[in-house]
Amino acid sequence: MCGRFVRKVSPKEMAEFFDVVVTESPARYNIAPSQPVAAVRIRPHEGNRELVNLRWGLIPFWADDPKIGYKLINARAETAATKPSFRSAFKSRRCLIPATGFYEWQKLDPKHKQPFHIGLKDGQSFAFAGLWDEWHDPEGEVIESCAVLTTDANELMRPIHNRMPVILPREEYGQWLDPSLQDQEALQRLLRPFPPEGMAAYPVSTFVNAPRNEGPQCVEKVA
């Protein structure tokens, strides 16, 4: 799964890497569900890329209660195309969620877990494969929200957790974002574990456990 991540990318880097207009990109070290996350998508009805803030926790357009979003922070790559909560978004509302790392907790014993920071070995930015949706309540409020797709863990992740977020290679960003691409098999082929040799993981302190904690201390390596 993916329940917390890091994004520390300058506006210039964000603009160049994701081909979008960026005015600001404040560093975040402990992004948690229900918080706004930066996402890149194709602008509806216009066809160009845009950077938007989406609430993390997807609320399907048909939902009666927006609280369903708290349960839908992740979408399993194997079932997202057919599961009612995600299938409409999978078909034509796909997005990229920029990141520089994510956290996962390794179970040590029934009472203790060790948090790990995981990212690319070269320290570069990357993007999770995401889905987004737009929900309207009877009073006219509009909430745009998102979920991160997950897949089986690769060899690096397996000792830590059995799932990991889908990290897309840069050359596949265009395919994933293209709303005209609706071939389910072609899209599923993009949702594979990232090569373990290109990734690195290290333990961090339990400071990151509390979503209210922010700052570089979250990503500091511990013995």
Residue 56 corresponds to which tokens in the numbers above?
A: 């993390």
Instruction: Please report the pLDDT score of residue 84 as a whole number.
Output: 96
Residues in the chain: 223
Instruction: Please report the pLDDT score of residue 122 as a whole number.
Output: 93
Instruction: Please report the pLDDT score of residue 12 as a whole number.
Output: 87
Intervals of the chain under pLDDT 50 = none
Task: Tell me if 113 is assigned to some domain.
Answer: no
Task: Tell me if 140 is assigned to some domain.
Answer: yes
CA distances from 128 to 11, 52, 131, 205, 214 (A): 18, 15, 10, 24, 21
Task: Tell me if 181 is assigned to some domain.
Answer: yes
Task: Tell me if 219 is assigned to some domain.
Answer: no
Please report, for the domain that includes residue 174, its CATH number.
3.90.1680.10
Which pTM was predicted? 0.95
Instruction: Please report the pLDDT score of residue 138 as a whole number.
Output: 80
Q: At a CB cut-off of 8 Å and minimum separation 6, what does 214 contact?
A: 28, 29, 30
Residues designated as active site: 2, 104
Q: Domain tally for the chain?
A: 1
Instruction: Please report the pLDDT score of residue 201 as a whole number.
Output: 97
Instruction: Please report the pLDDT score of residue 188 as a whole number.
Output: 93
Instruction: Please report the pLDDT score of residue 10 as a whole number.
Output: 85
CA distances from 180 to 106, 133, 218 (A): 39, 17, 39
According to DSSP H, which parts of the chain are helical? 11-18, 87-92, 173-177, 184-190
CA distance 86 to 188: 14
Task: Tell me if 209 is assigned to some domain.
Answer: no
- b/e per residue, 42-65, with b = 16+ CB within 10 A? beeeeeebebbebbbbbbbeebee
CB of 161 closer than 8 Å to CB of 107: no
Task: Tell me if 109 is assigned to some domain.
Answer: no
Instruction: Please report the pLDDT score of residue 58 as a whole number.
Output: 98
Instruction: Please report the pLDDT score of residue 219 as a whole number.
Output: 96
Domain containing residue 153: 5-104+123-198
Task: Tell me if 54 is assigned to some domain.
Answer: yes
